């Protein structure tokens, strides 16, 4: 299941790059690597950023989490060749779109998991 999420998120990242100026992914391979790096950064760096910015996140009722996601995307663009983010605004919009896509994917895959449990 995680491979399907990875492939779908890479495809969504390519789709976003077609419509969002300042956010560019050169190939599907670059998108796969970018999604992998973003996932690793979410695992390693994002928790530290969340703790450091907790007061701001609380004051903004969690909306600052999108800024943290944008920072993670911006960092990933500096690591991955073929993945470019020209501005922080492009990273912020992409983080919102990718978050929405991730929520939809989680709902879809969790719903399928529950359906599979009911069948057994």
Domain ranges of the chain: 2-92
Distances (CA, A) of 24 to 17, 30, 82: 5, 10, 8
Give the mean model confidence (pLDDT) for residues 19-34. Answer: 95
Residues in the chain: 120
Band (11; pLDDT cuts 50, 70, 90)? very high
Instruction: List pLDDT tens digits, range 60-112.
Output: 999 999 999 999 999 999 999 999 999 999 999 999 999 999 899 888 888 76
């Amino acid at each position: 299941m995680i491979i399907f999420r990875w492939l779908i998120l890479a495809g969504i990242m390519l789709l976003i790059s077609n419509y969002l100026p300042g956010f560019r992914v050169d190939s599907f391979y670059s998108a796969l690597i970018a999604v992998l790096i973003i996932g690793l950064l979410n695992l390693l760096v994002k928790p530290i950023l969340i703790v450091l910015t907790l007061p701001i996140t609380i004051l903004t009722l969690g909306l600052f989490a999108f800024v943290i996601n944008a920072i993670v995307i911006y960092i990933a663009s500096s690591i991955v060749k073929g993945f470019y983010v020209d501005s922080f605004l492009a990273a912020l919009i992409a983080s919102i779109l990718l978050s929405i896509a991730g929520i939809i994917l989680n709902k879809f895959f969790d719903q399928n998991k529950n359906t599979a449990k009911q069948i057994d």
